[in-house]
Chain A
Amino acid sequence: MTVFPFIVVAWILLVGLYGMVTSRHLVHQIICLIVVQSSTYVLLLGVGYVTGAVAPYYFDVPNHTPAVDPVVQALALTDVVVEAAVTALLLSFAIQAHKRFGTLDPHELAELKG
């Protein structure tokens, strides 16, 4: 099963994209974008995993115990922070769109623009 986590990554990515394409509500669409981004967490943590290794914390295990890759874990942390920032900004755009056009349906918003 050495490829299973990577298939999960592709699956999460696709499910999120499908949601974004078929979405009828901006907030739903933003949440689908979060789902797309979640696939990168699984990918990062999956890439750095070492079978039988501990978490990269030597507080209560002896030094030089084999541990999983700390670099990708740090990258996943960065990923989460950026996701939170992007989500907050997108949600505030959704608030303004609703104020301006009275709808959050992407199809209706596209029509209003023309």
Chain B
Amino acid sequence: MTEVQRRWMFLAGAAGLVAFVLWGLLGLPGFGNYPGPYGPSILRIAVAQTNATGVVSAVNFAYRGFDTVGEEFILFTAAAGVSTVLRHLRHERERSAVDEAADRDVPPTSSAVRMTALVFAGPVMVAGWWLASHAQTNPSGGFQGGVVLATAFILVYLAGEFLVFKRFSPVDLTEVVEAVGAGGFAAVGVAAVAMSLPYLTDYLGLGSIPGAVSSSGTIALISFFVGLEVAAAFILIVGEMLEQTLLIRQEDSE
């Protein structure tokens, strides 16, 4: 099939798709007229039932907690998948991370980049922890916090060298952290079953002040484990990708 034929075929298909999509979308209640019932019901009961002022987190880690376990394992599987796809193939070997053409005229990382990255690494890590541990109060949570935490490690790479990044986040340790994060979430749920409660039932008890970090039962604990898992998964994925460009070489190309 030629390029032109492909494009015409796409246009024909797209015209039909647009007709159907718009037909469906225009049948929805207009923008701003959300009719419910799920949103309003949850908004009515969430704060009283979970003590979480962040209702989105309450939905994610309590009402829809079982879904979120699956979601977390999607990320876990993806990280495992990336490691598998990017494994060392035959004809490939790992070379040392030493510049083999030291006489090349490569501009060094500018000190402005190094300084900025170093200055930000610490605060970014604190921000990540803060986000991961405040799911129940405000628009944050394990997923957002985990990504910010992983960014702190990537800043270390930006400020220094790949080897420093590797020393800060050794693969073995990162994998353990990822497993603890993923398993911890599942274990919080199983612990409820062990107390003959339904899976993921909140058994920690609610504190007195809605929105306080310690007062929404298992939401904070789950969010913490999700933060660990997400941060470790992203560090692993980024590490694998960097390794591909920096360390892996075809044997016959050298």
- B55 touching A95 by the CB < 8 A rule? no
- A95 touching B86 by the CB < 8 A rule? yes
Selected interface stretch from B75-83, B111-119, B153-161, B177-185: B75-83
- A71 touching B31 by the CB < 8 A rule? no
Chain A residues in 8 Å Cβ range of B53: 57-59
Q: CA separation between A9 and B31, bound complex, in Å?
A: 12
Instruction: Please report the total number of A residues contacting B with Cβ < 8 Å.
Output: 54
1/0 contact trace for B79-109 toward A, CB 8 Å?
A: 1011001100100000000000000000000
Is B110 close to A, CB under 8 A?
no
- A10 touching B6 by the CB < 8 A rule? no
- A85 touching B74 by the CB < 8 A rule? yes
Nearest CB to that of B15 among chain A residues? Answer: A14
| Chain B CB within 10 Å, residue with most, of A7, A68, A88 | A88
Partner of A99, one of B17, B74, B89: B89
Q: CA separation between A81 and B210, bound complex, in Å?
A: 28
- A47 touching B28 by the CB < 8 A rule? yes
Q: CA separation between A80 and B77, bound complex, in Å?
A: 16
- B59 touching A71 by the CB < 8 A rule? yes
Chain A residues in 8 Å Cβ range of B7: 21-22
Partner of A88, one of B17, B22, B33, B82: B82
The 10 A-B residue pairs with the shortest CB-CB distance, nearest first, are: A2-B30, A69-B39, A85-B78, A51-B32, A6-B25, A56-B55, A74-B59, A70-B55, A59-B53, A92-B85
- Report A's interface with B, CB cutoff 8 A: 1-7, 9-10, 13-14, 17-18, 21-22, 43, 46-52, 55-59, 63-64, 67-74, 77-78, 80-82, 84-86, 88-89, 91-93, 95-96, 99
In the complex, 18 of the A-B residue pairs with CB atoms within 8 angstroms, ordered by the A residue number, are A3-B31, A6-B25, A9-B25, A10-B25, A13-B21, A17-B17, A59-B54, A69-B34, A71-B42, A71-B64, A74-B56, A77-B143, A85-B74, A85-B79, A88-B237, A92-B82, A92-B240, A96-B89
